[in-house]
Amino acid sequence: MKVIVCLLYALLFAWPTGNATAHALDPGYLEIRQIASGTWSVHWRKPDVNGKPMSIDAVLPDGCTPARGPDPVSDSKAWVSSWVVECRAGIAGQPIEIEGLAVQNNDVLVRLHPLQAEPTTLRFTPDTSVQNIPSEQTTWSVFIAYFQLGFEHILEGWDHLLFVFALFILVRDPWRLVGAVTAFTLAHSITLALATFGVLNVPGPPVEAVIALSIVFLAMEIVKGGEGRSRLSKQKPWIVCFGFGLLHGLGFAGALADIGLPANDIPAALLAFNLGVEAGQLSFVGSLAVLVIAWRSVALPISQTATLATAYGIGSVSMYWFIERVSVF
């Protein structure tokens, strides 16, 4: 346990600060919608990187003119451009390329809406920056795409990972920890679904700020637990995690609203995304557990001082995020 806490405590000083990096769920998004025979409208959304559009570009099939769009403009969250293309022949079976994606640590969702067929969802990654447009879309392909999206981006969402890491330090019983992580996922699945279907509509900045405070709360619980007090967060952590999971789900909802969901497969996409998040969280916890087991086989248990130092580090980073997020209200 000592090696984990010491290493991660050191990483806290290099931890990304700022809302854009703390809550990472920002793939590119390309929508191609047919408006007439041979005519398509294109909407292209590039992620923002330090105030500039990510160095990627959507390249449509050779039979489409123009194959590239105009320079994007900022909408304060990302860089967007829209245009209309004429395609001489059907685009099914033709390649689409996300130029420059091979050198980026990100992915792109592509959604096609033909007039006479079901919508198609494709997921482009650095390893698959060129794909052929399939003739038909299956629910299974949507499920796989959104499962991978949830799995990968929970491992890049620093605030969510820091929450899970604080929980890992606080709750030492393995089954209680798994139950708490599952309760967290169940809760954010509920609010994510409610927000997706328009039942809940909460502004994003206050949600992101309170998410940061939820991590501060766990850091305080670690400190108070070290004082020998009996805490509900340790005895029944699933109660606390369920409450905070409802909040974190609203954060995911804001991110998914920007990405979009396939209109005909929203239930499958939501289920897949949440299962991917759960798998990512349990993989993160499992990796920490393996390190704990390996350390205990060769060294002494971690000191209380190191645990408290780590808790203060977690709380400090989270308070920085809170102050920065409040400043944008």
Strands 78-87 and 73-74: antiparallel
Average pLDDT over residues 204-217: 88
In this prediction, what percent of the chain has a pLDDT beyond 70? 84
Average pLDDT over residues 214-223: 90
What is the per-residue pLDDT across 255-290, written as a single tens digit (0 to 9) for each? 676 666 776 677 888 888 888 888 988 899 888 888
Average pLDDT over residues 70-82: 90
Sign of CA dihedral 78, 84, 88, 89: positive
Q: Phi, psi at residue 98, to the nearest 5°?
A: -100, 95
Quickly state the pLDDT bin for 44 (edges 50, 70, 90).
very high
At residue 215, the pLDDT reads 92
At residue 285, the pLDDT reads 87
What is the per-residue pLDDT across 114-126, written as a single tens digit (0 to 9) for each? 887 777 788 898 9
> 295 or 96: which carries more pLDDT confidence?
96
Total-model pTM: 0.70
